[in-house]
Structure 1
Amino acid sequence: MDVLDARIVANRVGNRRRRVLEAMDVPRSFGGHCHKEVQESLVAQSSSSKSDQFTWKSLWALTVPNAVKTFSWKACYEALPNKENLRKKKVLEDTSCPFCLREKETLIHAIWDCPAAQDMWGCNLSPFQKCSWEVFSFRELFERSIYSFDKDKVELLVYVARAIWFRRNKTLFEGFFTHLDEVFYGALKALAEYKDCQQMEFPHNSSASNLNQNAHRAVWCLPPSGFIKINWDAAKIKADAHLAETIAALGEVKFSTEAGFFDAICEWDATKVVADINSEPPYLSNTSHFIENIHMEKLRLRSCLFVFAPREANLAAHTLAKEAICNKNYMCWLEDVPSNISSIVFREASVSLDP
């Protein structure tokens, strides 16, 4: 069995901005009881009152998608369907948190106080690790953050809060569990991508369809500060594609440990391999042996994320892997760029780094 893999390693430099890949989807329905609760809240307290102006101006001025602003606004008005709110509406009786099973599930508990949420806020990627505020509502959390943090950090806070809420819903209603580092990285990445999209300049004569295609074009982006990103792909000769990608994944984790990259993000364009590696044991596929070895190697790292990237965002590694089929010799470049992918790397660098 012959499997050829290609890897591209990148490190984030300083505080330079990363490139946008995608925009968050906008939820269309929050439930009738939530809509009614917002209306009741608006009658009791107008969001345009003088005492609230700074809070709402700060919220609507954030550079985040409208879906995140809407989520934050509803959360400030306690208008999301947590168990305590549903009890008040006589929808259910049991208000115990489905994760910690100790406290009743209020909104601030689900997003901030619950140990499951605190694990998210304290993960390796989080700048909120030392933030141990005792707050009693999401609005209090938001108002305290706008007085304590700069705008970028507040934007990350509301993005992560929404990600925690959506992770809670996926776990409860779909039985789909996502690792906390992956959720936080996804929020961090999506926020940077959205900001860069807002800064993209298009010719005035561009059609709406062209603008839409450009806005959703996937491109490579820098990893968070302190992390190494390893982009890789595999070219198969005698192995099936899925097996080839899995064997290459094992090689990437070993490469990371041998090179001393103890905080790594492994990114590639094989959806099924990503799903297999991020799934819970037992591993029942024909690649289970390699998956188990990947997790054994992963224990040697401090933090290692396995993330899917569209082909367009993994083009350099994909091109290098295809070229490797025609070359039987082992080749390695350090602080240099192979000539056959130089144009791709330089183009990605030009859109991933600020001038």
Structure 2
Amino acid sequence: MGFRDIHAFNLAMLAKQAWQLIKETLSLFYWVYKARYFPHYSFMEVELGSNPSFVWRSLLQAHDMIREGHPPSKENSSVAQDQGLWKRLWSLNVPPKVWTFMWRACYNVLPTKSKLAWQKVQIDPKCFFRGQKDETTKSILWECPFASNVWALVWGELQKSNSVAKNFFILARHMIQSLDRKELKLWVITSWSITSCSLWNARNHFQFKHVQTHPSEIFKQADSLLKEYQRLAKFLPHR
């Protein structure tokens, strides 16, 4: 359950508040914080500053996570500019750790092997499952045989999708737009997000314990987590 991971839950909540400071620039919330902490800059340019409040210090945890990613390319411009993508992701009825995971994946801050190598960590950037290619967020969650074998088990348009997007953010935008248009079912997008998270967990299990999880087991774990959370979510207050 997502609520067992309190850190992930808190980070997801902070990310939602930080999103308002990026996008809702006409709100009272935005102008109060801008006047106090970043009167001459954008939210993405701010530093902690002197005498920060507890709330501001907490918001900068999400801010720092965003800035760890690569600078946005011309193709994806800024993640903050794609309001439709984030509104759709935030509306998913999934454990908070899945929100956090998708946020990190889209901002390219997951510790993939190529990401660690880019950060000067002494590591071979090659993918575990296709040794001639570097491991990126998109490759490990979508392209490599490890991921492809899982997606082959998924119903509907997901298994037939074939995006040439150059990074995971653009892939996510493409997937959500195309699934909205073709499937018109929020649960399909939900399934895609939670299965991506399960793929990442299985990848970590292989890296640290040297045990490869069977594709059917990864899919089963994702499906079970989704059903368990949505069953229990009926008893939780609306967020």
What is the TM-score normalised by the length of structure 1? Answer: 0.44
Distance 2:190 2:100 in 1: 13
Deviation at 1:39, TM superposition (A): 2.7
Count residues in correspondence: 175
Richer in strand (by share) = 1
Distance 2:140 2:174 in 1: 18
Question: Is the partner of 2:160 in helix, strand or coil?
Answer: coil
Report what 1:154 is aligned to: 189
Report what 1:170 is aligned to: 205
Question: Is the partner of 2:159 in helix, strand or coil?
Answer: coil
Question: Is the partner of 1:160 in helix, strand or coil?
Answer: helix
Report what 2:150 is aligned to: 120
Report what 2:125 is aligned to: 95
Distance 2:63 2:113 in 1: 16
**Identical-residue share of aligned pairs (%):** 30
Aligned CA-pair RMSD: 2.9
- 8 Å Cα contact 2:163-2:174 kept in structure 1: no
AA in 2 matched with 1:173: F
Deviation at 1:144, TM superposition (A): 1.4
Richer in helix (by share) = 2
Cα deviation code 1:87-143 (max 9, x no counterpart):
1100024211111212111110111111111011102x5432222222221111211
Report what 1:187 is aligned to: 222
Aligned runs of 1:277-316 on 2, under 5 Å?
Answer: none
Larger Rg: 1
Report what 1:26 is aligned to: 5
- 8 Å Cα contact 2:113-2:126 kept in structure 1: yes
- 8 Å Cα contact 2:70-2:108 kept in structure 1: no
Flag structure 2 segments of 5+ consecutive residues without an equivalent.
12-61, 180-184
Deviation at 1:26, TM superposition (A): 2.7
AA in 1 matched with 2:105: A
Flag structure 1 segments of 5+ consecutive residues without an equivalent.
1-21, 203-355
Distance 2:138 2:66 in 1: 17
CA 1:167–1:151: 2 relative to 1, 3 Å: same
Distance 2:233 2:93 in 1: 8
Which 4+ runs in 1 deviate beyond 6 A?
Answer: 42-46
CA 1:182–1:43: 2 relative to 1, 3 Å: closer
1:38 pairs, out of 63, 66, 84, with: 66
Q: Does 1:83 align with 2:113?
A: yes
Distance 1:201 1:52 in 2: 29
Report what 2:136 is aligned to: 106
What is the TM-score normalised by the length of structure 2? Answer: 0.64
Q: Does 1:62 align with 2:97?
A: no
**Larger RCO, structures 1/2 (Cα 8 Å, 6+ apart):** 1
Distance 2:83 2:144 in 1: 30
Deviation at 1:58, TM superposition (A): 1.3
